[in-house]
Amino acid sequence: MTCVIGLIHGSRIYMGSDSAAVGNRFIRTTNLPKIFRNGPFLIGYCGSFRMGQVLEHSLRIPRQKEDQSDIAFMINVFIENVRNCLKEKGVASIEQRKETGGHFMVGYKGRLYSINSDFHVGDMLDGFDCIGSGAPIALGAMKALEKTRPKQRIEKSLEVAAYYSADVTGPFHVMSIRAD
């Protein structure tokens, strides 16, 4: 499928992705980056390109209230707006009364949140995360390269994931935003 890597380093949030478009044991290289900025959010996705396009071009999130914690905002405001947007655009699916979306990562206010298909908001302790079929390989590479500069660490980890996974390919894209 793909590989998206997020990293918190100092006062910045970094995110990198590959360029694989995979389906039915067939791989192509997409010209569309799987990471983008939407307002104060840095977002990277895997799986459905349609979901990523909707998150990039249709999703609108209201500002966080001053008295609201970041995690409460992500769960109660961000995710609810994502769910509504994906339903409105025909991306979410409902089977046996269970709603599912897709898998994506969000950098916001110095944190990385991994959003699973059931809209669970994950927040890992070690300051980096990876999603997609290349994630297990990239996680190991990110740990092994922890003394490397952020952009190079992500690029090298994507290279390692591409070397060992048939679902990951370059070129690689890396973006960053301020963490505050």
Q: What gap in Å lies between CA 49 and CA 171, rounded to an integer?
A: 17
Rg of the chain on CA atoms, in Å? 16
Q: pLDDT at position 116, please?
A: 95
| CATH of span 4-178 | 3.60.20.10
Q: Could you tell me which of 42, 33, 1, 5 has the C-alpha nearest to residue 130?
A: 5
Q: pLDDT at position 164, please?
A: 97
Angle at 133 between CA 83 and CA 178, to 5 degrees: 60
- Name the residue with tokens 């990471």: 35
Query: Could you state, in order of their start, the residue ranges of all structural domains in the chain?
Result: 4-178
Q: pLDDT at position 52, please?
A: 97
Listed as ranges, residues in the chain with pLDDT below 50 are none
Residue 85 corresponds to which tokens in the numbers above?
Answer: 């947007």
Q: pLDDT at position 95, please?
A: 83
pTM: 0.95
Residue 152 corresponds to which tokens in the numbers above?
Answer: 């190079």
- Name the residue with tokens 């301020």: 178
Interhelix angle 79-88/49-57, rounded to 10 degrees, is 110
Instruction: Give 13-66 pLDDT, tens digit per residue.
Output: 999 999 999 988 899 999 999 999 999 999 999 999 999 999 999 999 999 999
Q: pLDDT at position 24, please?
A: 85
The answer to whether 54 and 86 have CB atoms below 8 angstroms apart is: yes
Phi/psi at 73 (nearest 5 deg)? Answer: -60, -45
The answer to whether 3 and 133 have CB atoms below 8 angstroms apart is: yes
Q: Could you tell me which of 148, 147, 178 has the C-alpha nearest to residue 14?
A: 178
